[in-house]
Amino acid sequence: MNKKVEWDIIVPVKLPISLKNVEPGKLHPSLLRDIPQGGKLHYLAADAWNAMVDAAKKDGIELKPTSAGDTYRSYDSQKAGFLKRYQLQPIPGQSTKTFEGKTWYLKKGMAMLATPGKSQHNLGLAVDIHTASDPKRLKWLIANVLKFGFSWEVVPSEPWHIRYTEGDAVPQAVKDWLALNPKPAGMFGTPAEQKAAAEAIEVKKSEPKVVDVSIAKNKPRLIKDNKGKAIKEAQELLTKHGFQCRPDGDFGPKTQELVKQFQKSKSIPITGEIDETTWAALLS
């Protein structure tokens, strides 16, 4: 018997840059976005998912996760699920997994589950689709998943489990959808915000950061509506740090917003003023 199925579409996962050095299941909240049907996904996967859901809807196909817990899973929730399904007491003939240096046995009647930290759900890239094997739904998915950067991981046993594989190379169909559905204001999304979130994680991973304020000793404290050379310097430094800022020497609302985003990215107090700590962070 040929076990090859029509939807044998498996593309290796390219990791978005924002997920490099990130512990699976411990994503910074700014990397995750709520999806309308409940649950969360990495923002790139969320865009692709939302675009695909809309396209399916136009064709009369409803796509939704089997539950909110079948989108992004934190390490703790993956672990809780794992402990529900696996036990240490040996069960002859049952499949096993190694976790925390021990062999675990799948309980009878339970579906397999990835070891905590090993699932694409822990990266916010995977979704389990509700009744995916319904013929009409599966047919639509076969014809469309690749266009939106998704594919399967385990075929034919897990038709519901798809994951976003395209990393930072947003597929054209998703770009087209984004052009018609701009991200709501205030949501995580601009390149500067994404960079800031990725940097914030790297900063967190290194030793607790002590800002050396001595380098900012001679810098004036700047507040909104100030003007002058020092503002221009700060604006240029903001740009250098990835917060594109017009160096017009005028501390207007746009500059202030960027200052706040910068402060947030550096985990320093979000004052919207360029004080000694902010100068130090800008200069380092």
Smallest distance from Zn ion to CB 121, Å: 6
Cα distances (Å, whole numbers) of residue 82 to 13, 98, 105, 127:
23, 11, 10, 17
Smallest distance from Zn ion to CB 38, Å: 15
Identify the helix (H) or strand (E) that includes residue 42.
strand 40-42
Bridge-partner residues for 68, per DSSP? Answer: none
Q: Is 125 an interacting residue with respect to Zn ion (CB under 5 A)?
A: no
CA neighbor of 261 nearest in space, from 272, 249, 245, 277? 272
Strand order in the sheet with 161-164: 126-128, 161-164, 150-152
Q: Closer to Zn ion by CB, 54 or 153: give it.
A: 153
Smallest distance from Zn ion to CB 196, Å: 30
Altogether, the residues listed in the chain come to a count of: 284
Distance CA 183, CA 192 (A): 15
CB 243 within 8 A of CB 261: yes
Among 33, 42, 73, 161, binds Zn ion (CB under 5 A): 161
CA 243 to chain centroid: 20
CA 222 to chain centroid: 34
Q: Closer to Zn ion by CB, 17 or 80: give it.
A: 80
Q: Which residues in 33-62 contact Zn ion (CB under 5 A)? A: none
Contact range with Zn ion by CB under 5 A, out of 9-17, 83-91, 127-135, 171-179: 127-135
Contact range with Zn ion by CB under 5 A, out of 16-24, 156-164, 244-252, 263-271: 156-164
Tell whether the torsion through CA atoms of 11, 16, 17 and 22 is positive or negative: negative
CB 262 within 8 A of CB 241: yes
Contact range with Zn ion by CB under 5 A, out of 137-145, 159-167, 235-243, 256-264: 159-167
Contact range with Zn ion by CB under 5 A, out of 23-31, 121-129, 204-212, 257-265: 121-129
Identify the residue whose tokens are 């360029």. Answer: 274
Q: Is 128 an interacting residue with respect to Zn ion (CB under 5 A)?
A: yes
CB-based closest residue to Zn ion = 161
Residues near Zn ion (CB under 5 A), total:
2
Q: Closer to Zn ion by CB, 128 or 273: give it.
A: 128
Smallest distance from Zn ion to CB 105, Å: 21
The secondary structure of residue 274, as a DSSP letter, is B
Contact range with Zn ion by CB under 5 A, out of 123-131, 133-141, 178-186, 272-280: 123-131
Q: Closer to Zn ion by CB, 84 or 224: give it.
A: 84
Contact range with Zn ion by CB under 5 A, out of 101-109, 154-162, 248-256, 264-272: 154-162
Distance CA 126, CA 155 (A): 15
Q: Closer to Zn ion by CB, 127 or 234: give it.
A: 127
The secondary structure of residue 230, as a DSSP letter, is H
Smallest distance from Zn ion to CB 111, Å: 10
Most distant CA pair in the chain, distance = 78
Q: Is 233 an interacting residue with respect to Zn ion (CB under 5 A)?
A: no
Binding footprint of Zn ion on the chain (CB under 5 A): 128, 161
